[in-house]
Amino acid sequence: MKLIRDCPEKASLSFAKGLLNSKAYNFLELDYNYGTKDSIMPLMIKTITKYNKGSLLEICNKNIATAQYMELVSVLDLVKKNHIVGTKQNLLNRLTTKNYPFETFQITEALLSFNDSKMNKKLIVILREKRKDWDSGNWSGAFRELLAKNKLELN
């Protein structure tokens, strides 16, 4: 975090390089604040957004394909907040792979944030095909609530 304070432009370049790397993340915080990767990733993305915005689409698309859990949520929050439409197809592609219900829900929520009726039709087809992967436990109700809120039906 010292790098962000002292040289945020350099930090943004380093963060972008790391998030585009093919190796798994290895978050390490060396100062007195022993944060978690859940707190570091949003900080990295915020720095990249401010100082290296040109790399956002590539970072988002790469991480949509590979990130899991909270790292994925951080990227999806960025997609929603900045309305990064260049990620739509990669989001749909990710839904066709095996995901945990939490990930499927987050991806679905990001796709719905675009308010794109053509894409929503594709989304519904994918959700129907992958129903066994997400339609269980508490997620069943959460999905139905999300779809109803967006005036979509799975039938």
The domain ranges of the chain are: 83-155
- Rounded CA-CA distance 154/131 in Å is 10
Q: Are 59 and 20 in contact (CB under 8 A)?
A: yes
Query: Which of 85, 106, 83 lies closest to 94 in space, CA to CA?
Result: 106
What does the block give as tokens for 127? 């959700």
Count CB-CB contacts under 10 A for residue 98. Answer: 8
Using pLDDT thresholds of 50, 70 and 90, give the confidence band for residue 36.
very low
Q: Which residue has the tokens 């590539």?
A: 58
User: What's 152's DSSP letter?
Assistant: -
Q: What is the pLDDT of residues 101-152, one digit of tens each?
A: 999 999 999 999 999 999 999 999 999 999 999 998 889 999 999 999 999 9
Residue 52: in which H helix or E strand, if any?
Answer: none
User: pTM of the prediction?
Assistant: 0.82
Q: What is the pLDDT of residues 42-95, one digit of tens each?
A: 788 889 889 988 999 999 999 999 988 888 998 999 899 989 999 999 999 999
